[in-house]
Amino acid sequence: MRICVFCGSSFGRAPAYQEMAARLGDCIAERGIGLVYGGASVGLMGAVADAAVRRGGDVIGILPDALAELEIAHDNLGELRIVQSMHERKKQMADLSDAFIALPGGIGTLEETFEVWTWSQLSIHAKPVGLLNVGGYYDRLIEFLDHVVAEDFVKPVHRDILIADNDPATLIDRLAAADVPTERKWVDSLKR
C-alpha cells in the first residue's frame, strides 16, 4: 500500500504543522506503507519525507523539472522522479497511490486534493482522500463543504469520500477501512 501526501513547500506559521508532518511520515513508515509525495526537501514536504526516510520507509518523490531548483529536490529518497509537467506529476502520484492525505498547505495542496477527490466522485478511481486537520487548519473548509452539500451541489455520499481527522494513525485507519462509493454524480438525475 502507498499513501500520497499533499502538503506545503513551506512550514506555515504554527510549529504544530511541521510536528504533525513528521508524525505522519513516522506513522506511514512504521506501518510499512509507502509514501508518495511532491519530491521537495523543503517545508512540510521535506518534513514528512525526512521522517519516513529516518524510519526506513519506502519514499517516492515526484517533482516537475521546472520546480526541481525552486523546491529543492530531495536527494535522500528511495526514488526521485523528475517529470516534465505538473499534470504528469499529479498523474503519477495518483497512479502510484492507494489513498491520499492532505496536510496543511496552500493553493497547490488544495488543488491536488480537490482533483483526486473529484476523480473519486467521478469514479475515475475508487481511492479515499483524507484531511489531516492539524490544529483546526481545515475546520472552515470542512464547514464550507458541508454547506456545499446542504445547497445540493455535492451528494452526501460524495462528500463522505473526504475524511477528516486530527490524528495521523486514526486517519490512516479510516482511509484503509473506507468504502469509496461508485455512485454516479448528478448527471443521471439531471435528465428529469
pLDDT digits (tens, 9 = 90+) for 71-121: 688 888 999 999 999 999 999 999 999 999 999 999 999 999 999 999 999
Query: What architecture is the 2-177 domain classified under in CATH?
Result: 3-Layer(aba) Sandwich (3.40)
- Terminal CA-CA length for the chain: 41
In Å, the largest CA–CA distance within the chain is: 56
- Write the single-letter amino acid at 169: A
Structure confidence by residue, pLDDT tens digits, 124-168: 999 999 999 999 999 999 999 999 999 999 999 999 999 999 999
Note if the pTM is more than 0.85.
yes
